[in-house]
Amino acid sequence: MSKREQGFTLIELMIVVAIIAIIASIAIPNLLSARLNANESAAIATLKNISSAQSQCQASGVIDVNSNGSGEYGFFGELSGRTAVRAGTQTISPPVLSTAFGNVQNSRVTRSGYAFQMYLPLASGAGVSEDPTGGDPDNGQVVDPGQAETLWCCYAWPQVQGNSGKRTFFINQSGDVLATNGAVLAYSNATGGTVPLPEAAFSAVASAFLSVPVAANTVGQDGNTWVVVQ
């Protein structure tokens, strides 16, 4: 057997490596882009599910702190049946939202590369997040029962900006999902990252829930342009 028949030459191996490198340079960005798109689509779908859960919670009247017969919106801990409802001892059973949303850490839930945070209104109109482990906040801030009958909002932003997602999303009682690409202020849930404040997607007035969420192609209090997701 000749030496030529024993294996590839160095030049042949270099050609193969070069071809693999070219294919990888084309395929890897496409795979990353596909993952980002999948995470963003999942975040939008999750926000719509949250909206449906809030509607069920409010319509059922299971949370009625002021006992006026009108139901109120809830936090993740309450919607998932993980914690007792505000001013009560019972939990929502069966829960109106996946029990996975009972895994609240630092007042947030992480799903498919995104962090989700719920806000309910204080009497001042400012937004308050739930307890760090879920449910009624145990920090002296009291959700206003009258305003919580009609108002809530939720944000979803990437765990790692540019890696698990690019856009940040918002939804409230209207049911419309808004999005921003973070051209002015990009959000990330990674250590040291910037997270959206309750008023981020609202018009430029003092308090989030006393203002109006921005519509398509207008600017929120965070300076970003928020658009309606079609």
Asked if residue 177 belongs to a domain, the reply is yes
Asked if residue 96 belongs to a domain, the reply is yes
pLDDT along the chain (230 residues), means of 10: 61 75 67 82 97 97 95 97 93 96 96 96 92 86 92 96 94 94 95 93 76 76 90
Asked if residue 2 belongs to a domain, the reply is no
Asked if residue 190 belongs to a domain, the reply is yes
Asked if residue 73 belongs to a domain, the reply is yes
pLDDT of residue 151: 94
Asked if residue 4 belongs to a domain, the reply is no
pTM of the model: 0.85
What's the chain's Rg over C-alpha atoms? 23
Question: What's the number of domains the chain is made of?
Answer: 1
Asked if residue 35 belongs to a domain, the reply is yes
Domain that holds residue 54: 10-228
pLDDT of residue 1: 46
Asked if residue 3 belongs to a domain, the reply is no
Spatial separation of the C-alpha atoms in residues 57 and 59, rounded to whole Å = 6
